Chains A and B, each alone.
Chain A
């Protein structure tokens, strides 16, 4: 068993047993923060499925909002269980991804063009939610209709413990999916597409199909994250779940941690959440916008100086040391022969 795997195993054990550790009054708060980290890491990981292949989406808030609102509206208005609501959300998000992605990919709308289009999509979904205020309650936001107690069918629980384990499980699933994509043939195809689309196409890679596939996957997973978040918090609002702001926050967390690694989004999300909580405790509600201002500044600084993120750069540095040690070992081995 490698050192890395052992460490991960210990961490997982800690996370699993954490709710049993006596924390007194801080229990709910810790659970709340942990749930935030798990769900947003899951979403960040979903975003990075596109980001790592040079498909920059600045509008993932669209998928988030679709998932969250689909789930809440279907339950509040029609009593549809969120288990099905989430699936509906995923399908809708997937459809949106296709509607936006197909013209973009078929006609080579890439890079800046694509980023702008996604930005517009994110904003439009937010506007749509606000515009349809008759049934979405617009900017006021929507509270999840109470099921009158703990219910698996309605996915509502008084204690956060269930959501803690649920979001942890979802995060693990998300990481597994990331890992599978990383090991798949699709990864090689998508990387070559990211590098040189024309060359990739000339080798027979069906560019549009691959791009569309990863986009739909990313969109669906993000929507799922949105659905779970809506259930855990029991409240949705177009500002927090769609629009440029949340889209950029997702991106920032992933860039901070490292776009091209498995645990990068998790590390980044953990750091930003910690920073946000720290600032909230420090300033309370006095300095509205301070956290985001710092985020924005850090995003700029990081993208210029540390584009691989904290975790990504650290991993790369460790890898380089390992390579040098291996080379040193092989030289010594040769010398001793």
Chain B
């Protein structure tokens, strides 16, 4: 039998991880809510930002805070680039084309990363303390990212509700045509949204590189997880995604300790399928 202390530790780790997953889920939802398109390659953009930080810190010796900011910038730029180069041309294409385009991007990004940087795992070593609370160890490398991610979620909330452009983004997600009647160029709003989504990917990358090693297929770990979280929370539903992030992270963390890391994901998926039967509109949807 597993020492309950490990279970508690896993549960805590799950919460800490949930914060970062929430960033990814919210970023993806933001873009879907406004553009009606899912960036299948989203987790791979995170991967690219992680590589950026790795090279800046481990190879060029940049300080961490500078590399973090650079990651945000890289993320935002990637977001805009993806929109202008890939999304814009297929905005009115049937959903199958849109899915295949972003799917192709995933393929391309993962393969190009393999080509340039090989499949070696790269990590950025940080010597940060670990705190012991009640017998369980909480490393700073997990706690600080969690704190930052919560701050970022609050920041996103404030951005969407208190700023003009943020309210405009919410308006577009509710009625795109009506917004163009307000004199808002849809393209401009899309670009801003893509930049914000990319920025969140950059932030997530910055928070993850200090916990996980990056390799070209890193997106394969977090991508499907993010998608399950988004669908579970209801595609486009920000609050649902936030809640679902923690639920899924918990399942994976605890499952990972009880069985194996991979089985943790499998169990999460099973729960996901079950939830689809029970609450198809997402966990926060009203009863059908």
Contacts and interface: CB of A to CB of B under 8 A. Distances in A.
B111 interface: yes
Interface stretch (B14-22, B62-70, B122-130, B260-268): B260-268
Given A119-B224, A123-B224, A296-B111, A113 B231 contact: yes
Interface stretch (A25-33, A74-82, A247-255, A264-272): A247-255
B235 interface: yes
Given A119-B227, A296-B111, A109 B280 contact: yes
Given A116-B230, A293-B115, A296-B104, A107 B266 contact: no
B269 A296 contact: no
| Range for the number of chain B residues in contact with chain A | 35 or more
Contact of A299 (B96, B108, B227): B108
B104 A303 contact: yes
Nearest to A110: B95
A300 B112 contact: no
Contacts of B113: 289
A57 to B, nearest CB: 10
B165 interface: no
A192 interface: no
A304 B138 CA distance: 48
If over half of B's interface residues share one DSSP class (helix, strand or loop), that class is named, otherwise mixed; here it is: helix
Given A289-B111, A296-B108, A303 B231 contact: no
Nearest to A302: B104
A112 B104 contact: no
B288 interface: yes
A112 B32 contact: yes
A303 B101 contact: yes
Contact of B95 (A56, A109, A117, A121): A56
Nearest to B227: A116
A255 B94 CA distance: 14
B207 interface: no
Contact of A115 (B99, B107, B216, B260): B99
B114 A58 contact: no
A92 to B, nearest CB: 15
B99 A304 contact: no
Interface in A301-321: 303-304, 307
Contacts of A130: 262
Contact of B99 (A56, A104, A128, A289): A56
Interface in A57-112: 58, 99-100, 102-104, 106-112
B100 A251 contact: yes
A117 B231 contact: yes
A244 interface: yes
Contacts of A21: none
A54 B95 contact: yes
A56 B40 CA distance: 13
Contacts of B265: 123-124, 127
A305 to B, nearest CB: 8
B224 A120 contact: yes
Interface string B60-84: 0000000000000000000000000
B224 A124 contact: yes
B266 A112 contact: no
Contacts of A58: 40, 99, 103
A20 interface: no
Contacts of B235: 112-113
Interface centre among A51, A112, A290, A292 (most CB of B within 10 A): A112
A104 B114 CA distance: 34
Contacts of A304: 86, 89-90, 97, 101
A155 B265 CA distance: 35
Interface in B200-231: 216, 220, 223-224, 227-228, 230-231
B276 A107 contact: yes
B260 A296 contact: no
Contacts of A295: 107-108, 111
B149 interface: no
Contacts of B109: 296
Q: Which 6 A-B pairs have the closest CB atoms?
A: A296-B108, A289-B114, A107-B280, A299-B104, A131-B262, A292-B111
Given A56-B95, A120-B224, A293-B111, 14 more contacts: A54-B96, A58-B40, A115-B99, A119-B40, A123-B224, A127-B266, A131-B266, A251-B103, A287-B115, A292-B114, A293-B114, A299-B101, A300-B108, A303-B97
16 contacts: A54-B94, A99-B273, A112-B37, A112-B38, A115-B103, A116-B40, A117-B231, A120-B224, A124-B269, A131-B261, A248-B103, A251-B103, A252-B104, A252-B107, A292-B110, A295-B108
Interface of A: 51, 54, 56, 58, 99-100, 102-104, 106-113, 115-117, 119-121, 123-124, 127-128, 130-131, 243-245, 248, 251-252, 255, 287-293, 295-297, 299-300, 303-304, 307
